[in-house]
Structures are given as C-alpha cells and as structure tokens.
A and B are shown apart, each in its own frame.
Chain A
Amino acid sequence: MALAEETAIDLGAMTQATAALDEIRAMVRPCIQCGTCTGSCPNEFAMDLTPRHMWRLVLLGRTEEVLASRTFSLCSACYLCSLRCPRGLPLTEAMGRLKQLAARRRLPHLRSGNLFYRNFIASVRRHGRVREMEFMSLYFAQMMNPWLPLRYAGMGMRLLRRGKVELRLPSRGSGRLVNLFDKVAEMESRS
C-alpha cells in the first residue's frame, strides 16, 4: 500500500509544499481576478474561500491559508471555470494539483476525501480494477463514524439485491498493478 503507507510530514514538508505551490502559482499567474471562476462554480456555495479569493492567495504564496481552506477539495472537476476563464487558465488542473499537495500533507480537515481516494486507489493497486464494495467498506471503517455507513445502507441494499456489488472480504488480490504503482512512486520521489 505505497500510497496508503506513506509516512507523515517530515521536516522538509514545508519546503516541498512551497515548491509545489510555486508550480501551481505559475499555472495561474496571468489571473486578473475577474471572478468568472467563482460565478461559474457549482460548489461555491459550500466553500469557505471563493475560488477567486483562493487563487489570489496562491498568487501571493500564502501556502498555509490555501491549504487550511476546503475550497480546492470541493472542486468536482466540472471544468466550467476552465472553460470560461478569459485568460484560458487550467484552473481545474490547478485544483487537482492542490488536492495532490494536500493529500501528501494528510490534513485533518480534509480527512474524508483523502481516505476515500486512498482506499479507492489502494483497491485498484491490489486488483487492477476497483472493487466498489470493498473500498467503501474500508473507507467507512477508517472514518470510524458508526452513523456514516447508515446513510448509504439503503443504496447498498438496493445494489446488492440487483447483483451490482458483491459482498467479499477485502483481500490482497493479485497485486495486479503493484509494480506500476511502485514505479510511479519511485519516479515521483526523484522529481
């Protein structure tokens, strides 16, 4: 479980985060703060910082404030802001980079998304294809909130009844993509 077993923040993490944010800043440097992104975002109502405001903080290099917000984690990759940005900036892609940066820091306020994606991709690493029921069960277990699974129980039963998901114990699988994942991790640690 290379991704899931990454160690916590090391001493160089801050410097790394600043360097990574520099790359993201370069992606949005021509931003003119027009706010078209904010006006286009379907999830803006739930964000603490508007997208426009967050990009401004990125431009100013205020890493900690950017990472403390939930804004980028609420991007659902609909690409409306990227489509409409008058400067043609790859905003959705930059949101993805922020998600990756935050995932490496394991920020507590973004725990649910982080655990969800890590369990999803760990299932892919083990089996080659995702096993929906397996990764959702592990996600629920790690969230340690006994009420959470109940919100999905009705749907789970309907899916089981139709044979669309299977109840299987989590397994190590064939390790189908382990080599490829390890290679990617090795290449990313180099750069």
Chain B
Amino acid sequence: MNYLYYPGCSLEGTAREYDISTRALMAAMGADLVDIEDWTCCGASAAEALSELLTLVLPARNLALAEAMDLAGRDLLVPCSACYLNLRRVEEKTRVSHALRDRINEALSVEGLVYRGQTRTRHLLDVLARDMGAPVLGRRVARPLTGIRVAPYYGCQCLRPYPAFDDPETPRSMEPLIRAAGATVHDWTMGGRCCGASHMNTKMAVGLERVEALLTAAQGADVIATVCPMCQMNLEAFQKKALRGTEASPVAVVYLPQLLGLAVGLDPEVLGLGLNLAITPDFRQKLDRIPTAA
C-alpha cells in the first residue's frame, strides 16, 4: 500500500483536517505516501467554466510531474473528489485520443513537461475500500465506535462520470468500512446526491436547498461521513442557515479517515478533529463515552 499523493489546494487550507487525517490513517495502516513534487492546482470546477483546454492542461501538468518521479510506478492517491475527477478525466480522455494527448503536451512543452499516459489516479475511498478493505481495517480497530450512527455521504464526483469502484447510482462502498469500525450505518438514499457544490458561493439559495435536503434526510444519524472537501464545507459551514425555520437538528460532519482513524485508536487531535466546523455536543459526548484504546 504505497502511493504517490496529490493533496490539492483545499487540503492545504479549508480542508486541512482531511489531509491530516488521511496521512495519519494511511500511516497507521502501514501505507507510505509521497507527495508529487511542485504540484499545482487541478483547475477545480473553475477551469471547466472558462476553458476546455485549461480544464485538461492544469491536471495534466501534475500527472506529468508524477510520471517524472522515481516512484512513478505507484498509483496516485487523491482525497478530493474534484481533483480526482479532473486528474482522472485526463487519463480517460487521452487513452482514447492520442491527438488530445499531443495537444495537451504542446501546452505542457512551455514547462518542459511531457504526459505519457502512464499514471493511475485513485480516489481515497477506492483505496480504503479495495486496497485496504474492511477486514484489514477491522483487525486494526482498537476503539470500536459502538452506538455511533453514521450517514455515508459520497457526493458526486468520486462516483460519476467514471464509476471505478462503486455503483454510481446507489453507492455502498463505505458501509463495510463503517461496520468494521464498530459503528452503525444510517440507511438513506441521499449518499450519492449533490451537495450543491460551488453554488453556495454564487447562488446561495440553491446551495442551501440542497444542504437542507441532505441534513433532513440525515436526521437520526450522529454524524455524516464525507470524502470531499466541498461536500464537507457545504454540509458543515451552512447548517444554521440551511436549517433555519425547520424542525431538523444539527448533525456532526467529519471526513471518513477521521472516523476510521478514531476507530483505529488515533487521538482526535492527531486526526484534526478540532478543525471541523460541525462537531455537535451530542456527537462529542457519545465519542467521549467510548473507552479510549488501551
């Protein structure tokens, strides 16, 4: 379980705890991560709104850097779903069109870089669900999260348009991991529904409508587990606004590696749990009641 690692911009800023907990969990599971040297932004959802070529060239630059490293044979691990899709799109599109790869390489030539199409981009959830797997996790669980009810939230872009590891309509890949961690799965149908993405910044009313729908469906769960910085931010930072005038209660929202890290016995501080914006008192109390690993 050794990977090249692309954190992406959010994981250096608003999603720092996603980076911290991913590194901590992977280290605890014996995996080695090596950052792509000199990585830059993948274009997020901004490039696609402005330029088709930029949408491909920005992620391709990072793939070319990954190929140039000594450890180029390793899969590329990416926790952010938007980064994952952008990087993966370049792999998928250039596989079927060498003309497109040539066009991308013409742009990359100003940086002295070449993309050969040899990378293999993997989402963190893919790696946790298939490379590590629930049985391996289960053997490492030191502090089973008994009595904690988790709503698995996948969002969109780790599932679609490239369904690499899960059903893109009815995703289930988090469930065995949550059970292996000793927690209970909140049964809902909203796991693969959109959080509103960047509409929260430009069309807030639309974003709030999406978040309200998700938080309402999550009622009864102690915590929502996410695998994308944008989903996490929308669900945690706008709860008060989204739930104003409704009967629904706030719900804690954490990144999946934070949750699994707790079960493995890692300290909440080591998992950056102090950085989340929506840790409810109820969730905190339930956690505190679970004995810490000996």
Shortest Cβ gap from B222 to chain A (Å): 21
Residue B142, interface by CB 8 Å: no
Shortest Cβ gap from A89 to chain B (Å): 11
Chain B residues closer than 8 Å to A113, beta-carbon distance: 49, 202-203
Residue of A nearest to B206 (CB): A46
Are B203 and A82 in contact, CB atoms less than 8 angstroms apart? no
Shortest Cβ gap from B43 to chain A (Å): 7
Chain A residues closer than 8 Å to B198, beta-carbon distance: 76, 116
- Count of A-B contacts with CB under 8 A? 163
Which residues of B164-193 are within 8 A (CB) of A? 168-169, 193
Are B50 and A184 in contact, CB atoms less than 8 angstroms apart? no
Residue A112, interface by CB 8 Å: yes
Given the known interface contacts A79-B161, A103-B50, A121-B50, the answer about A180 and B57 at a Cβ–Cβ threshold of 8 Å is: yes
Are A117 and B238 in contact, CB atoms less than 8 angstroms apart? no
Residue B28, interface by CB 8 Å: no
Looking at A76, A90, A103, A180, the one whose CB has the most chain B CB atoms below 10 A away is A76
Shortest Cβ gap from A96 to chain B (Å): 5
Give the CA-CA distance A180 to B57 in the complex, in Å: 8
Residue A142, interface by CB 8 Å: no
Chain A contact-residue range equals 35 or more
Count, chain B residues at interface, CB 8 A:
58
Are B57 and A80 in contact, CB atoms less than 8 angstroms apart? no
Shortest Cβ gap from B229 to chain A (Å): 11
Shortest Cβ gap from B7 to chain A (Å): 10
Chain A residues closer than 8 Å to B49, beta-carbon distance: 96, 99-100, 103, 113-114, 117
Shortest Cβ gap from A160 to chain B (Å): 11
Given the known interface contacts A82-B160, A180-B107, A184-B54, the answer about A124 and B41 at a Cβ–Cβ threshold of 8 Å is: yes
Chain A residues closer than 8 Å to B12, beta-carbon distance: 129
Chain B residues closer than 8 Å to A124, beta-carbon distance: 9, 40-41, 43, 46, 58
Looking at A116, A130, A139, A181, the one whose CB has the most chain B CB atoms below 10 A away is A130
Interface of A is mostly: helix
Are B161 and A130 in contact, CB atoms less than 8 angstroms apart? no
Residue of B nearest to A122 (CB): B46
Which residues of A110-128 are within 8 A (CB) of B? 112-114, 116-118, 120-121, 124, 128
Give the CA-CA distance A128 to B58 in the complex, in Å: 10
Give the CA-CA distance A177 to B198 in the complex, in Å: 23
Are A80 and B194 in contact, CB atoms less than 8 angstroms apart? yes
Given the known interface contacts A83-B168, A100-B50, A120-B46, the answer about A180 and B199 at a Cβ–Cβ threshold of 8 Å is: no
Residue of B nearest to A76 (CB): B197
Are A100 and B194 in contact, CB atoms less than 8 angstroms apart? no
Residue B51, interface by CB 8 Å: yes
Which residues of B27-63 are within 8 A (CB) of A? 40-41, 43-55, 57-58, 61
Are B54 and A121 in contact, CB atoms less than 8 angstroms apart? yes
Are A130 and B14 in contact, CB atoms less than 8 angstroms apart? no
Are B204 and A151 in contact, CB atoms less than 8 angstroms apart? yes
Are B51 and A77 in contact, CB atoms less than 8 angstroms apart? no
Residue B13, interface by CB 8 Å: yes
Are A155 and B41 in contact, CB atoms less than 8 angstroms apart? no
Are A164 and B16 in contact, CB atoms less than 8 angstroms apart? yes
19 A–B pairs (Cβ distance < 8 Å), ordered by A: A3-B50, A46-B203, A74-B199, A77-B45, A78-B197, A80-B156, A99-B48, A99-B49, A112-B203, A116-B201, A117-B45, A121-B43, A124-B9, A124-B41, A124-B46, A129-B41, A158-B237, A180-B57, A183-B110
